[in-house]
């Protein structure tokens, strides 16, 4: 069965770029018509949708983060990535990767999440 | 502050039923039949338990049910079991401007 796993630095300095990767195992990232998604959860808060990339390459971003976010996909490695630039302490959160199926309006597969702290 | 409003906590005894509300606006919960609910045991992978207001994915217990009235969606868990103790989040599609909004989560305690 398909599984997702996030990876990346747990500590990022203010003003730098946060970079995370989500590895898709048990299936091909390009064979499924899916939206490969990034979410985050600030400490003690609810979930926030960051954005997603369709398997074809089209991207969709949360308007509040659009100026700082890039989501990309590497089909050769069955991975997709998140880059969030100019981070501040407000970007400290648990970051999750997830999957939304094409034509569907829910997220049916999630990773375990990875904590990222922004601090000098 | 989350876009969708959920109670911070609910509790119930084994065998009882509880309901968790999720209140949004006509731009999200009230405007689309695309409310979903997720169960999250800390340290584990979040799990989809309800999609499109009241659909249960394969493998999800029929003790979980969803509904919606106006701008408020609800998750009901009947026959509470100890394993139901978890955090529950609602989410809703909100159109092509903001796309997706979520609630702040509700911690369910089984007494």
B98 CB near a chain A CB, below 8 Å? yes
Contact between A29 and A36 under an 8 Å Cβ cutoff? The reply is: yes
What tens digit of pLDDT does each residue of A78-90 get? 999 999 999 999 9
What are residue B58's phi and psi, to 5 degrees?
A: -55, 135
Angle at B17 between CA B16 and CA B20, to 5 degrees: 140
HSE-CB for A60 with a 13 A CA cutoff: 18
Residue B96 pairs in a beta bridge with none
Q: How deeply is A67 buried, as exposed, middle or buried, from its count of CB atoms within 10 A (0-12, 13-18, 19+)?
A: exposed
Q: Convert the pLDDT of each residue in A40-56 to its tens digit.
A: 999 989 999 999 999 88
CB pairs under 8 A between A and B: 58
To the nearest whole Å, the CA of B33 is away from the closest chain A CA by 9
pLDDT per residue of chain A (120 residues) written in tens, 0 to 9: 899 999 999 999 999 999 999 999 998 888 668 999 999 999 989 999 999 999 888 999 999 999 999 999 999 999 999 999 999 999 999 999 999 988 899 999 999 999 999 999
B43: chain A residues, CB-CB within 8 Å: 112
Contact A26, A2 (CB under 8 A): yes
């Amino acid at each position: 069965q398909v599984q997702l796993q996030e990876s990346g630095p747990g500590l990022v300095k203010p003003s730098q770029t946060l970079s995370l990767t989500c590895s898709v195992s048990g299936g091909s990232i390009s064979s499924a018509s899916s939206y490969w998604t990034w979410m985050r959860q600030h400490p003690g808060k609810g979930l926030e949708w960051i954005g997603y990339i369709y398997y074809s390459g089209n991207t969709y971003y949360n308007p509040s983060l659009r100026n700082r976010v890039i989501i990309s996909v590497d089909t050769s490695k069955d991975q997709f990535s998140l880059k969030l630039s100019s981070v501040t302490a407000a970007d400290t959160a648990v970051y999750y990767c997830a999957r939304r199926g094409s034509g569907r309006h829910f997220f049916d597969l999630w990773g375990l999440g990875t904590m990222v702290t922004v601090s000098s | 502050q989350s876009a969708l409003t959920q109670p911070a906590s609910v509790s119930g005894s084994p065998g009882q039923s509880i309901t968790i509300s999720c209140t949004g606006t006509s731009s999200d919960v009230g405007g689309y039949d695309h409310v979903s609910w997720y169960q999250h045991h800390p340290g584990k992978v979040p799990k989809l338990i309800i999609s499109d207001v009241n659909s249960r994915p394969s493998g999800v217990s029929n003790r979980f049910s969803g509904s919606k009235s106006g701008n408020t969606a609800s998750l009901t868990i009947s026959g509470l079991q100890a394993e139901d103790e978890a955090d529950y989040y609602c989410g809703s599609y909100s159109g092509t401007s903001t796309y997706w909004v979520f609630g702040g989560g509700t911690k369910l305690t089984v007494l």
